[in-house]
Amino acid sequence: MSDTFNISPYQIWLSLVVVAAISYFSYLLQKFVFKKSGLIISGMLGGLYSSTATTIILSKKSKETNTPNRSFSASILIASSMMYLRVFFLMLIFNFNLAVYVFPYLTILFVILFSLGLIIFLTRPEEQKEIQVATSEKNPLELKLAAIFSSLFLLFSFLTNYTLKTYGEPGLNVLSYIVGLIDIDPFLLNLFQGKYAIGFNLIAKLAFQAIVANNIVKIAAALILADVLTKKIVFAGLGIVTVINIIIIFLL
């Protein structure tokens, strides 16, 4: 199995436990502690669970609201900023040296995106009252979700190993953008734990490329599902951070 997947059953189990623990912690806080929380808290907790799912939910809710409200776009940006925090936590647990290497870059992206969301929220007109929205209805410990994660983990392990052996670094670059359109966690955890013959700088580059693709998915979701005001702000905010993310890729 190791020759094909370059990953062990223990690593699959450990990855599932860690990701589920982070997601379940966010889920419990939102469901029981901050049950009646406003959009900002919902965005933060939802972002730790899944920034993509949170973006989709908040985009839909923004369109259902009769009047434009900047709270939705602010929460989406903050949810997306939590993705950088989540990725850093995963690096810290599974590849400490890599976490140290990319810490300055992840910090810059997190601070910029979180600050943008917070500024938009704090400067919103008084008439735009806070709205309560639940951003996560599914229990992350459900067997169905665990099975999906495990399947994706194995699939991306095989694809990463095969692509590296067959197409080398150029193939991995293409693969990182493709998986970023689907789910970045299984792919990133493979990179962080797998014994691939590649350096820290390439692993970091692949991680940031997957994040760029994931940001593009969230921008597209907002453009398709959100109201006009939310579309404009999310496109501008996530667009700016994505451009900075791309610049960082060239610096790695």
CB count in 10 Å sphere of residue 153 = 23
- Is the pLDDT confidence value at 1 over 50? no
Instruction: Find, among 227, 207, 238, the residue nearest to 88 by Cα.
Output: 207
pLDDT at 110: 96
Contact of 11 with 161, CB cutoff 8 Å: no
59-77 residue pLDDT tens? 988 888 877 788 899 999 9
pLDDT at 2: 47
Distance (Å, whole) CA 38 – CA 108: 26
* Positive/negative CA dihedral, 179, 221, 208, 177: positive
Return mean pLDDT, the chain.
82
pLDDT at 7: 65
pLDDT at 112: 96
pLDDT at 10: 66
- Is the pLDDT confidence value at 44 over 80? yes
Per-residue pLDDT band at 49 (split at 50, 70, 90): confident
212-222 residue pLDDT tens? 999 999 999 99
Q: Which stretch, 57-71, 112-126, 154-168, 206-220, has highest mean pLDDT? A: 206-220
DSSP 7-18: --HHHHHHHHHH
**Mean pLDDT, rounded, for 142-154:** 69
pLDDT at 45: 80
194-206 residue pLDDT tens? 677 788 889 999 9
By percentage, how much of the chain surpasses pLDDT 90?
A: 42
| Domains of the chain: total | 1
Residues of the domain holding 243: 2-251
In this predicted model, which residue has the larger pLDDT, 38 or 132?
38
Q: Which stretch, 35-39, 99-103, 163-167, has highest mean pLDDT? A: 99-103
Contact of 53 with 86, CB cutoff 8 Å: no
Distance (Å, whole) CA 220 – CA 48: 20
**Mean pLDDT, rounded, for 125-129:** 57
Long-range contact pairs involving 7-11 (C-beta distance under 8 Å, separation at least 24)? 7/153, 7/154, 7/157, 7/190, 7/193, 7/194, 11/193
Instruction: Find, among 61, 62, 30, 63, the residue nearest to 44 by Cα.
Output: 30
Between 159-163, 233-237, 240-244, 246-250, the lowest mean confidence (pLDDT) is in 159-163
